Each structure stands twice: as structure tokens, then as C-alpha cells.
Amino acid sequence: MAEGKLLIHIEDVTKIYNPGKPDEIRALSGASLNIGGGEVIVLKGPSGSGKTTMLSLIGCMSRPTSGKIVVEGRDVAKLPEHFLTNIRRKTFGFIFQQFNLIRNVSVIENVLLPLYPLKTGLSEMRERGEKVLGDLGIREKWHLKVNRLSGGEQQRVAIARALINEPDVIIADEPTAHLDRQLSLDLLKILEDLNREGKTVVIATHDPIVYDHPFVKRIVEMRDGRIQGVTVK
């Protein structure tokens, strides 16, 4: 499905942390990448190679130091925060490496978190939450505090939260880092299903289970903040 319409266009992007200071770090230099709708793309590379940085730029979590990132036809680098938030809300669902759930809050509330600032009514929110949890097979846990769940279940809560605002793009940063082999395969199954529904999936990983999986169509190899090469399967 790599031939779907262009969703994200990254052109010669550089990201420098702490510019001009002694601890200046060039996390990304001159990276260019196009992501089409419905694609499954993996950023592969050793730790520190700039994968997370790349994901945060794609997901409008931060702005590039130089270069151009076009999401939905708009240059992200120049938009004010409010618009970035808006794009993030509508377009992206994030699955973080450390699940980043809010401790001591129930499963359902964690899942619905992205909807609180929106106009969606409470009952509709509730319905959507239960549906997503049902799809992921953890519906009966909705009232538990998230820290009572196992790692795999927490991962599912995180996925449910990423899906709740029905995003076009799922961004997952090292999603298998805290999972065993079986759970990793389950997760990939979920991502595969989501992709089949038409969602674009962008994964950063250095786990062979992920990048060797048949549903991954394109592998972007990264090293020292540069894109080394692209493999299309």
C-alpha cells in the first residue's frame, strides 16, 4: 500500500538539541523521507541513532531545527503550538516505549484521556472506550487501576488510548521492548489488523521480531542521525 497518497513529507530535516551550548547534540542530520497513507514503515537502528527523534518530529511533538516537515499539506515547522496539538489529536496515535499511562487512574480513564479536552459527550466517550477495549480483549478490566495490570495488558491500554481518537497514523516507539516473544507477536498482530483497516503504522525498533515480520513493507535504516538506506520488501 506504499503507493497510497502522500501523508507525511520530510525533507532534509536536522534536529539539534541544545544548539550553541557545549552539550550540543546533532540527533538528526539531513534526513528525508516520504510516508504514504496505509503504509507500514519501520525505523531500524541501534540505540541513539535518532529513531525516537524522528518519530517525535513525524508526530508533531517537536519542531525540526531546520528542514521541512509537511503533514496534511501544512509545514509543521512554522505552525504555532495550538495547531500542532490539533494535528496531533486528529492524525496520530502514540504508543510509547514505556507505556506512559497515568498511574492510579482506571483503565477506562486512561484510554479516554485524549478525549477529555474535546467536545465529545461523556456517554459517547464511554461507548467508544468500551468498544476499543473490547476490540483489544481487555474490556472487563476497564475499572482497574492501570498499575494493577500486567505488562502486556498495560501495552493494550496504551494501544487503546492511541486508537481512541481514531487516528490515521499509529506511531510506536520500541513497542516490543518490554514484551516477551509471544506478547510481541500478539502486538504485531494487532498492528497488522490496524494496518488492514487502513491505518498507517510507523514503528521504531531494533527488534528483529518486528522488522522481520512479513507485514512490514519498508525498513528505514538509521545510524548516527542519518538515514543509511531504505529496504522495500
Partner 1 sequence: MIRHLKILEYALSSLVRRKFKNLSIIVVYTLTISVLASILFLTHSLKLEASNILLEAPDVIVQKISAGRHDLIPAEYITKIRDIPGVGTAKPRYWGYYYDALTHSNYTLLGSDSNLTGLSLLKGSMPSDSGQCAIGKGVSDVRLTGIGREMILVDSKNTGVVFTIVGVFSSESSLLTNDLVILEKEDLIKFFGLKAGSATDIAVKVHNENEVQTVAGKIKQLLPDTRPITKSEIIRTYDTVFNWRSGMMLTIFSSALIAFCILAWDKATGISAEEKQEIGILKAIGWDTGDILVLKFWEGIVVSLTSFLLGIIAAFIHVFFLGATILAPVIKGWSVLFPDFRFVPYIDLYQIFVMGFLTIAPYIASTVIPSWKASVTDPENVMRG
Ligand X SMILES: Nc1ncnc2c1ncn2[C@@H]1O[C@H](COP(=O)(O)OP(=O)(O)O)[C@@H](O)[C@H]1O
Report CA-CA distances (Å) from 3 to 6, 39, 101.
Answer: 8, 8, 35
Q: Cβ closer to ligand X: 18 or 150?
A: 18
Q: How many residues touch ligand X (CB under 6 A)?
A: 12
Q: Does 27 bind ligand X (CB under 6 A)?
A: yes
Q: List the single partner that 6 binds among Mg ion, ligand X, partner 1, none, CB under 5 to 8 Å by kind.
A: none
Q: Does 36 bind ligand X (CB under 6 A)?
A: no
Q: Cβ closer to Mg ion: 51 or 141?
A: 51
Q: Cβ closer to Mg ion: 86 or 100?
A: 100
**Interacting residues with partner 1 between 77 and 136 (CB under 8 A):** 81-82, 85, 88-89, 94, 96-98, 100-106, 109, 113-119, 121-122, 125
Cell of 81: 503550538
Q: Does 155 bind partner 1 (CB under 8 A)?
A: no
What's the CA gap between 84 and 57, in Å, rounded?
11
Closest by Cα among 40, 56, 54 to 2? 40
Q: Does 161 bind partner 1 (CB under 8 A)?
A: yes
Q: CB of 44: closest distance to partner 1 in angstroms?
A: 17
What's the CA gap between 88 and 94, in Å, rounded?
9
Q: CB of 28: closest distance to partner 1 in angstroms?
A: 12
Would you give the end-to-end CA distance of the chain in angstroms? 12
Q: Cβ closer to partner 1: 104 or 150?
A: 104
Q: Cβ closer to ligand X: 29 or 155?
A: 29
Of 29, 49, 165, 184, which one interacts with partner 1 (CB under 8 A)? Answer: 165
CA 96 to chain centre: 7
Q: List b or e across 26-35, with b for residues whose CB sees 16 or more CB atoms inside 10 angstroms.
A: bbbbebebeb
Neighbours of 169 (CB within 10 A): 22
Q: Does 53 bind Mg ion (CB under 5 A)?
A: no
Question: Which spans in the chain are helix H?
Answer: 51-58, 81-91, 107-112, 122-135, 151-163, 181-196, 208-211
Q: Does 205 bind Mg ion (CB under 5 A)?
A: no
What's the CA gap between 157 and 154, in Å, rounded?
5
Q: Does 139 bind partner 1 (CB under 8 A)?
A: no
Cell of 144: 482497574
Contacts with Mg ion by CB under 5 A lie at 52
Contacts with partner 1 by CB under 8 A lie at 52, 55-56, 61-63, 81-82, 85, 88-89, 94, 96-98, 100-106, 109, 113-119, 121-122, 125, 161-162, 165, 173
